[in-house]
Structure 1
Amino acid sequence: MARAKLRTPTPADDLRTGADAPNPVWFKPVMFGFMLLGLAWIIVFYVSQGTLPIPDLQSWNILIGFGIAFVGFLMTTRWR
């Protein structure tokens, strides 16, 4: 009997499943949206001299803006 020859997989055989799958269409706009929203939050806070976006939070508005932008930057680690 002849032995079955094992074939090594080629890049063409890659079905892009699991971690190698490309991101959905909405991923990039949401990622950049978070980064821009965080930047806009901080700019509005500085331009309004602390009266906007949420006056009761005072300087915590800066942390909120950086937090929103940080979510966008974290999303860049998953961008394919």
Structure 2
Amino acid sequence: MPKSKVRKKSDYTINPASRTPVKVKAGPSSTLYVSVMLGFMLVGLVWLLVYYLAADQLEWMNNLGAYNFLIGFGFMVVGLIMTMRWR
């Protein structure tokens, strides 16, 4: 059986002059940002807990029905999205 020919591959090198430096914002997030982020997540959790435990006593919350899930999880999702910008 004949032997296959070996192809020569050229080495790929990155030209360092073609890269442009990117300015990165340094430093940690402020404590206000972190507290608002955690606040959103906790408000969502508390909203769902109150809905499960006391919706029968709260007329306005009982009238919202399944929208309580949307509100509670909405608060938590906003907090989770804020974690992407947290340093």
Q: How many residues align?
A: 64
Structure 1 residue runs of 5 or longer lacking an equivalent are 1-16
Larger radius of gyration: 2
Residue of structure 1 aligned with 2:39, choices 33, 37, 40: 33
Matched to 1:46, the amino acid is: Y
Matched to 1:67, the amino acid is: G
How many Å apart are 1:49 and its aligned residue?
Answer: 4.4
Q: CA RMSD in A?
A: 2.1
Matched to 1:39, the amino acid is: L
The DSSP-based 3-state class of the residue aligned with 1:45 is: helix
Match of 2:85? 78
Structure 2 residue runs of 5 or longer lacking an equivalent are 1-22
Query: Which is worse superposed, 23-32 or 37-46?
Result: 23-32
Aligned pairs for 1:1-80 within 5 A:
19-49=25-55, 52=58, 54-80=61-87
Identity %: 42
How many Å apart are 1:23 and its aligned residue?
Answer: 1.6
Structure 1 runs (4+) deviating above 3 angstroms are 17-21, 49-53
Residues 21 and 50 of structure 1, relative CA distance in 2, 3 Å threshold: farther
How many Å apart are 1:40 and its aligned residue?
Answer: 0.5
So what's the TM-score if we normalise by structure 1? 0.67
The DSSP-based 3-state class of the residue aligned with 2:35 is: helix
